[in-house]
Amino acid sequence: MRFNIFLIIFLITVSLSNSIQAQNDEDVEKVGDIFDNVLTQSSSYNWLHYLCKNIGHRIAGSPAGAAAVEYTRQMLDTMGCDKVWLQPVKVPYWTRGNIAECRIINSQIAGDIKLSACALGYSAATDIAGISAEVIEVKSVSELEKMSDDKVKGKIVFFNAPMDPTKVSTFSAYGEAGHQRTAGPRKAAEKGAVAALVRSLTLKADDIPHSGVTIFDEVQPIPALGLGIQSAERLSALLSKEKQLKVYIRLDCKKHKDQLTYNVIGEIKGSEFPDKIILIGGHIDSWDLGEGAHDDGAGCVQSMEVLHVFKRLGIKPRHTIRCVLFANEENGLKGGSTYADEAKNKGEKHVAAIESDGGGHTPRGFGMDAVPEILKDAYAKTQKFREILAPYGFYELVTGGSGADIGPLKNQNVVLFGYRPDSQRYFDFHHTENDVFESVHKRELELGAAGIASLVFLIDKYCF
d(CA 115, CA 276): 53
pLDDT attached to residue 19: 43
Q: pLDDT value at position 300?
A: 98
At 401 the pLDDT is: 87
DSSP for 312-324, written as a single string: HHT---SEEEEEE
Q: Which of 354, 334, 330 is nearest to 281 (CA)?
A: 354
The overall average pLDDT reported for the chain is 94
Query: Any residues with CB less than 8 A from the CB of 157 and at least 6 apart, and which?
Result: 135, 136, 138, 144, 184, 185, 188, 191, 193, 195, 196, 197
The span from the first CA to the last CA of the chain, in angstroms, equals 40
CA distance 241 to 214: 30
Contact 112, 104 (CB under 8 A): yes
463 pLDDT band, cuts 50/70/90, is: confident
Query: Does 11 have pLDDT greater than 70?
Result: no
* The pLDDT value given to residue 21: 55
The residues, any chain, with a CB within 8 Å of residue 125's CB and separated by 6 or more, are: 97, 223, 251, 252, 253, 254
The C-alpha angle with vertex 325 and arms to 357 and 81, in degrees rounded to 5, equals 125
Burial of residue 220 (CB within 10 Å: 0-12, 13-18, 19+) is exposed
Grade residue 23 by pLDDT with cuts at 50, 70 and 90: low
Percentage of the chain exceeding pLDDT 70? 95
Pinpoint the alpha helices (H) of 138-225: 141-145, 149-152, 170-177, 179-182, 184-190
Tens digits of residue pLDDT in 44-92 = 999 999 999 999 999 999 999 999 999 999 999 999 999 999 999 999 9
CA–CA distance, 95 with 292 (Å, rounded to integer): 16
Q: Could you give the strand order of the β-sheet that contains 415-421, starting from the edge strand earlier in sequence?
A: 83-95, 254-268, 319-326, 273-283, 349-355, 415-421, 363-369, 396-399
> Is residue 5 very low, low, confident or very high in pLDDT (cuts 50, 70, 90)?
low
pLDDT band at 4 (very low <50, low <70, confident <90, very high): low
pLDDT tens per residue across span 231-267: 999 999 999 999 899 999 999 999 999 999 999 999 9
Pairing mode of beta strands 131-138, 117-119: unpaired
* Per-residue pLDDT, 16: 38
Residue pair 160/172 in contact (Cβ under 8 Å)? The answer is: no
CB crowding 43-54: b at 16 or more within 10 Å, else e: bbbebbbbbbee
pLDDT tens-digit series, residues 118-162: 999 999 999 999 999 999 999 999 999 999 999 999 999 999 999
Domains and CATH numbers, the chain: 30-89+260-462 (3.40.630.10), 97-255 (3.50.30.30)
